[in-house]
Amino acid sequence: MKERLEALRVEALQELQQVAGQQQLNDLRVKYLGKKGALTEILRGMGSLSAEERPIIGQVGNEVRAAIEAVIEEKQEAYRQEETAARLREETIDVSLPGRALPTGAVHPLNKVVTEIEDIFIGLGYSVAEGPEVETDYFNFEALNLPKNHPARDMQDSFYITDEILMRTQTSPVQIRTMKAANGKSPIKVICPGKVYRRDDDDATHSFQFNQIEGLVVGPNIRMSDLKGTLLQFVQLMFGSQAQIRLRPSFFPFTEPSAEVDVTCSQCGGHGCRMCKHTGWLEILGCGMVHPRVLEMGGYDPNEVSGFAFGMGVERIALLKYGIDDIRHFYTNDQRFLNQFARM
């Protein structure tokens, strides 16, 4: 039996050396090591051996099995490596190819302008205050010296939810809320950015929804000259050091005295052109000294403190800054328009 086992080892190893594929290797495993394989068949005859011969033949049988299994495992590992190498060759990615550029977004031009205005005023010592877009009639009108049935309400009577609740028509309510929250303490220096809503027909210069930034300063001995100096510094930081302003008397219920502010036309430098209707000036905002009644509604004694306020439309500033002729470009989501600002 020992000779048969040795002969089986030689035969199996010779066949395994000539194997030509994974399937043939599996067939040889079954042929020699399977339940009905040649090695099993030989070892079934161990029952006829003497007690002394059995351990010797058993050891030889194990050695033959181990030798055959070692060669089979070596062959299988070689086939696995060949398969992996072939898959890597087939799935190779040429990393030298140029990458596919993915489209990236950019900050909307209106948001760019809002951020720039905020940065300017923060640099001047202001803080940013925000408030609700759905506002009460009291904060939107009455606390700003616009009692019910006041004629100045006509151009702002807009989107009412109830008789006492509406979409805010200005960010001025944030000024009142800020004053009330301060409990009579000063100074106050805030800007109030946000969306506002008015009943307007959409055209090149108007929209029913637009962005506004208002400013408020309250403290002892605040003067009109402080307001003018602040606005001059703002327009020069926004439009360039050559920009100048002029103040024209106007009327707002919540300021007294009040003024409209013009800036020198960025298109012609103040010489006169079609954009500024040959005046050399473009209107950008309204302003004035805070009305004593508004100070009282905010919790301040107008005999002890004074203040100034101003308000500007962000779209108006953006139109002038970028030389755009139609406010609707900001809202129509035309990528041909918006892509111009991705590079700025």
Is 256 a known ligand-binding residue?
Answer: yes
Cα-to-chain-centroid distance, residue 101: 19
Query: Under a CB-based contact definition with an 8 Å cutoff, are residues 171 and 214 in contact?
Result: yes
Contacts of 288 (CB under 8 A, 6+ apart): 227, 250, 252, 254, 255, 256, 257, 258, 259, 308, 309, 310
Q: What is the dihedral of CA 141, 145, 151, 155, to 10 degrees?
A: -40
Classified as helix, coil or strand, 171 is: coil
**How is 83-151 classified by DSSP, letter by letter?**
HHHHHHHHT---TTSPPPPPP-----HHHHHHHHHHHHHHHTT-EE----SEEEHHHHTGGGT--TT-G
Cβ–Cβ < 8 Å for 300, 184: yes
Bind-site residues for Mg(2+): 256
Bind-site residues: 256
